[in-house]
Amino acid sequence: MKFLVSLLTAAALSMPAHADDVSFGPNQLCGLQAARPDANPALRVKTVQGRNGPIGYARFGRGTPLLLITGYRATLGEWNAYFLGELAKHHDVIVFDNRGIGRTAAIEGRFGPDYGISDMAADAADVIAGLKLSRVDVLGWSMGGMIAQQLALDAPEKVESLTLIATAPPGPQAVPTSPDVLAVLSGSGKDAFPQIMRVLFPANVAGEASQCFVGDMFAPHGYKGRPVPDAVAAQQNAAMTRWFADSAAADALRRSPVRTLIVAGANDEVLADANARRLEQIIPRATLDVVADAGHALMFQYPVELARHVDAFVSK
């Protein structure tokens, strides 16, 4: 009996904390010698007509269509250019600005108190329709992951697969972003940038990330997406608050037919990986990977490895 107990104890100590823990190896911050789509001077941000006006988007690559939805206060330029370049090797990549940001118009009178995640999901559906695509693989990061979930609920016939990165489920069992972290992400001024880096990245890489974060952002020729209006940021914050109270959406996700990959950072200070584990419990066809030594901005920490991980899932 003592031998059996010792054997079981040793086996338990040798196992990872969770079966879904993964490692992407060394950080890929700074100094990458890889393709980036914005190196092509012919690439431009264009617009497609949505129900609320023009929506700014960029499209590049070859292969199956992959629609990327970005997060809180983020423009299409907040994607890591090397992450996009790796995805573009096998996919027709489409990135776009959420409403009221960058090249996507904020139509006066259309952004009142009812503005929410479902409205932004409708904008994403308009991009798909406007580009005359029938079905697409969808990837959402942070708040974009919430929009992607709603899109899969509202238009499952348009969504081939769903990849949810560093995001949270709907409903009161989610763990929202803390007020302190949200204040950092909403900050401005000379001290804001280093503070933002400290909440987007683990402490051991935040300094390195601050040196190359801006340079590694997707920057199509002639595109300027900043600054994000404070009113739009406030509306996005209100939309996420309502998302965290949306029990009906959580119930609907339990019946979702869409094949889903959930990726979370083990050191995410913005949306804790407990959200990803909750998502795995809710979505029937979900696979979860929690990445060791990763924060909220995984696509900047591991642009090439994360893109290959996504491609392996999407291409199944």
CATH of the domain at 257: 3.40.50.1820
Tokens coding 232: 């739009």
Token pair for residue 5? 């107990």
Q: Is residue 6 part of a domain?
A: no
Q: What is the pLDDT, as a whole number, of residue 302?
A: 98
Task: With respect to residue 12, please indicate whether it lies within any of the assigned structural domains.
Answer: no
The total number of residues shown for the chain amounts to: 316
* 14 assigned to some structural domain: no
State residue 186's pLDDT score.
87
Q: Which residues of 215-229 are buried (b: 16+ CB within 10 A; e: fewer)?
A: ebbbbbeebebeebe
- List the domain range (segments joined by +) for residue 152: 19-314
Q: What is the pLDDT of residue 4?
A: 37
Q: Would you state the pLDDT for residue 165?
A: 98
Residue 178 lies inside a defined structural domain of this protein: yes
Q: Is 7 a member of any domain? A: no
Distance, in Å, from the CA atom of 256 to the CA atom of 60, rounded to the nearest integer, reads 29
Could you give the 3-state DSSP secondary structure of residue 119? helix
C-alpha 111 chain-centroid distance? 23
Looking at residue 13, its pLDDT comes to 35
Q: Are 97 and 73 in contact (CB under 8 A)?
A: no
- The pTM for the full model equals 0.92
What pLDDT does 99 receive? 92
CB 87 within 8 A of CB 314: no
Cβ of 208: how many Cβ atoms within 10 Å? 16
- What pLDDT shows up at residue 15? 37
Give the whole-angstrom CA distance, residue 39 versus residue 221: 9
Each residue's pLDDT tens digit in the chain (316 positions)?
433 334 333 333 333 445 579 999 999 999 899 999 999 999 999 999 998 899 999 999 999 999 999 999 999 999 999 999 999 999 999 999 999 999 997 765 544 446 799 999 999 999 999 999 999 999 999 999 999 999 999 999 999 999 999 999 999 999 999 999 999 998 877 789 999 999 999 999 999 999 999 999 999 999 988 788 888 999 999 999 999 999 999 999 999 999 999 999 999 999 999 999 999 999 999 999 999 999 999 999 999 999 999 999 999 8
Residue 257 lies in a domain: yes
- Our count of domains for the chain comes to 1
296 domain residue, yes or no: yes
131 located within any domain: yes
